[in-house]
Chain A
Amino acid sequence: MNKAEKKFRIYAIIVIFVLLTVLLTVINGVNFTMAADDADMLTEMLSERQGSFERGENAPGDFQYRPKDDGFRMGPMGPQSPEMNASLRYFTIAFTDSGEAETVAFNISAVTESEAREWARSLYREKTGWTKGTYRYRVYKKGGTTYVTVIDQGRELLPSYRILIISAIGEAAVLLTGWFVLLFIGRKIYAPIEEADRKQKNFIKNANMEFRVPLTVIYANTELAERKYGPDDQTRSTRRQLSKMNELVDRLGEISVFDGEPGQAAEFPFSEYLTRALDKKAAEFEAKGVSLTVNAAPGVTVRADRDAMEKLIDELICNALKFSLSKADFTLKNENGRVVLETENDADLPDGPADQVFDRFTTLENNKEKENGAGLGLPFVKQTVRAYNGRVSAEVKDGAFALRIVM
């Protein structure tokens, strides 16, 4: 499985997970909120009747105490059920100002009457809420008496808990199934991409190999022609073109080697190598009239294959040298525990994102210099950076080409 396919599957499963979690959280949240509202409605009904369905103006089962606004409470199936006064498990304890307790109603089996009084006393200073998991309570005052009503909502909450558990199991099942579906879909989607990638790599490898012998023959024949007729403009032009082709073949060779896995990772002295490499090229920058600025924080290192990193830095310097008009800046620093390398050079390029430079054989049009590379250096840079889970981006702003690497 290639990296892109793996990434696709991981992102897709994360999206499914987030969407399902949001959906199920909303459903279960609303369900539990409504259960609490239903319970509050019941304790409110009881508070209006001084803690007992046996009290008040209406007889048990009388529909008059049902609120008009039914909402989602499902009429007789909800708290307004005419059977509620007969089926509700609850108790109400009244406390006088002196703290004397009196049982107003006791229709519950889970605790004894004296335990209920103690329980109510512990809730005396509260207002409303859940107690012991599935019991809803309300504390209210009527006259000089404080009432504590506790109702059992265990049976009413049971379906909500079942839905919660089923939701969790269902989500896990969907994610598992989704993972296998994505495995299948991912292969279908990525098979042609992988094939194209494999063909491109093979082409580069073969082109690299197949061009080498013909180039050798052309070099030799040019030499023979020069020996026979003497060097002239044609043979000199042939040699220049041969040099360009030679460079291209070498680059293809490097890329085809790096198309495999990166080498052994070790601590690479980034700032040290960058500074040294730029020092070596300083004269060339100067000769080209390019002002070079280097801000490399000392001691910056990265864990990576040494050869690949050296080549990456060489490519960036080569690029700056080739395309800069008058200035080139290199900044290396540690930022949030990661190594950040920024390069900027004026290059008279059209403004905008320039990520196409990371595509093989693609170069940006440079109107003044007309010196375009083979389009293989920056793709190599991107490949190297991504091999170590880094990021690389490029843009052109005010005609300056800026590249940022984070790894």
Chain B
Amino acid sequence: MKILFAAPDRDLLECYKSILENDMGELIAAFDGAQVLSLVGSEKFDISVLDCDLPRVEFDRLTAKMKEKQIPVIALTNGHKAKDPKADAYLTYPFTPDVIEDLIRKTLDRAKKGQINE
């Protein structure tokens, strides 16, 4: 499995790279929206975990791009931003590794069953 994990906090990316790569599969990290767009253009991902407040590119544009590439989106939010209906799942900071791993699995299951947002 290949996960695109994008958040502006590098410590968060680093620790989750260790955890998710150990538990789930390859994790490609990005810390801004432009990187996400570039990575999505050049590589294939099974799922994306995107912070709602990524710099440089609007979150709406990122979700639209993910839909175009048929990559399920888990949005990470601080709880203040209105939920974007284009994301397939939401996770509010703070969360623990088991919670995000569980959500990734469930979202992938739903994607396989064709139950995610089109």
Contact = CB atoms under 8 A, between A and B. Distances in A.
A116 to B, nearest CB: 86
B19 interface: yes
A287 interface: no
A212 B94 contact: yes
A213 B9 contact: yes
Nearest to A242: B94
Contacts of A208: 78-80
Contacts of B55: none
Interface string A192-223: 00000000000001001101110111011101
B97 interface: yes
B79 A213 contact: no
A216 B93 contact: yes
Contacts of B80: 205, 208-209, 253, 256
B79 A220 contact: no
A221 B15 contact: yes
6 contacts: A213-B12, A216-B95, A217-B12, A223-B19, A253-B80, A256-B80
B78 A220 contact: no
B94 A246 contact: yes
Interface string B1-44: 00000010101100110110010000000000000000000000
B3 to A, nearest CB: 15
A294 interface: no
Top 4 nearest A-B pairs (CB, nearest first) are A212-B93, A215-B94, A220-B15, A216-B94
Interface of A: 205, 208-209, 211-213, 215-217, 219-221, 223-224, 227, 242, 246, 249, 253, 256
Contacts of A224: 15, 18-19
Interface in B63-118: 78-80, 92-97
Contacts of A213: 7, 9, 12, 78, 93-94
Interface of B: 7, 9, 11-12, 15-16, 18-19, 22, 78-80, 92-97
Contacts of A219: 94-97
A217 B11 contact: yes
Nearest to A209: B78
A217 B94 CA distance: 8
Nearest to A256: B80
A155 B97 CA distance: 95
Nearest to B51: A213
Nearest to B7: A213
Contact of B94 (A223, A227, A249, A256): A249
A212 B19 contact: no
A221 B9 CA distance: 14
Contacts of B22: 227
A217 B15 contact: yes
A184 to B, nearest CB: 36
A15 B117 CA distance: 62
Nearest to B13: A217
A350 B79 CA distance: 39
A221 B33 CA distance: 25
A246 B36 CA distance: 29
Contact of B19 (A205, A211, A220, A253): A220
Contacts of B78: 208-209, 212-213
A215 B93 contact: yes
A213 B22 CA distance: 21
Nearest to B98: A223
A179 B4 CA distance: 62
Contacts of B19: 220, 223-224
B79 A253 contact: yes
Interface-centre pick from B9, B79, B94, B95 (highest chain A CB count, 10 A) = B94
Contacts of A216: 12, 93-95
B118 to A, nearest CB: 30
A253 B79 CA distance: 8
Contacts of B96: 219-220, 223
A105 B16 CA distance: 114
B93 A220 contact: no
Given A212-B94, A213-B12, A253-B80, 12 more contacts: A208-B79, A209-B78, A209-B80, A213-B78, A216-B95, A217-B15, A219-B95, A220-B12, A220-B16, A221-B15, A223-B19, A224-B18
B36 to A, nearest CB: 18
Contacts of B94: 211-213, 215-216, 219, 242, 246, 249
Contacts of A246: 94
